[in-house]
Structure 1
């Protein structure tokens, strides 16, 4: 992909034609036209303010719920690295978390501070920025249950503070605009005993290990649960358990997970997902919606 965009100066790192496959869980897909890792929020803000408004911008966290298409991603992919991965307790019930912090770090810091109610983040393989944007959730809780506010750099470069109510949360969705990047968030839990919090985290981790193909190249939960239904059950009932296409396969262990069994292209993975959607629609009349984000150019 040509790297011929005129780019502003940065204090972080900026790489042209940067491979994204190593950075995403599926280990497949093309390159970013540009990959930007800002030094801090001001570096990101200044860069976006000076970047041509027609240049697409996308945030990348841990790359768990993501298919990067084989033709790569045009424009700028922003990855929040170590400067955005800090988590700190503000008081006995609240934490401030960088947009690049993992769910494991957030839940562990909450445990150490005696803050309960954030244990579910232990099971979500992503970062705070992704949780906030997608209203990430698991085991009966969602981000909207714990978010007080977040700091966001808009595509224009403007830095704004948004409250929970400003995000208009619904299931796996917020109203954050394209190109807006969550650089930090404040979460609120409730006072708890660290030992009890750890026990709940252990329970969640064990349940996840038992039911999900965690040691495979996967993208996490593939389809949203339709109202009144479980996506995995609809996929299973449509006869898709173990279904393969090219190097991609529906997990035998959990049918709402797609796997790269070794040499799958992103086209294989996405085509398998579409075939699953077709079979589920034929069998049950229900149209599954993708939960995994699909980005970039079809090769």
Structure 2
């Protein structure tokens, strides 16, 4: 079970291996949103995503024999790169299951870290069954993308940093908007806030049509998405909330938020224009909610979770300013 002690321990293991990313602010974004908007730029993290934290936290928590046998993970790209980088640094063999339609840049980067990439058809193949078979055959440790206590703890270090940075900036009572797939990042941040900054409240943000977390928070029961793909926000398309993450967020988070792919593209363009950062669609939905959603607090902090964007998609986003 993840708690603040596990998050603090993960922070110690992560020291020197990840970046303390900045909390950015641009007055022109405040004007667009009609509120103060701060952005936690995890797109500037090593591997271009917060997933580097959870990957390192999980692998560094394994005993030496398990690391020597190797690890396996499934991911559309950001968790893949986080685990692959950690495995390379810790000299652990690594297999990554990736959907064949994942962005080419993410598949290429994962291979560049030295991982063996196994592609599968997300519409027709069961990734859990495929991963379990490979793990059993080779004796590999499974590093889940979000429903793993050590992964949640690693992602919770984002919350520790936001708590410190919000205090330094004199921010209180803010909604903290978090791009959400299975909920590992959001639940880790929420646990960190419970212990260190209870005046900050997590709000999950998902793409329209893939709002399983928002619906689950509303009903109190795990809801599933009707399809596996069909949004530009590939990084946060998951079948359902995690069994570990949903109870945490049901207790600590506010209602979930939903934005469109078009709003995510607009947020990408505005982030590039005013903050000079590159976001992928799934990493921009929190900023999209901060800019375009009503009924938020007067001050919001959006976690920009990733910047591993396909060049063609980024060009599509920039056309919003053409």
Larger fraction in strand: 1
Q: What is the TM-score when the length of structure 1 is the normalising length?
A: 0.27
Max Rg structure: 1
Larger fraction in helix: 2
Q: What is the TM-score when the length of structure 2 is the normalising length?
A: 0.25
- Bigger RCO (CA 8 Å, 6+ sep): 2
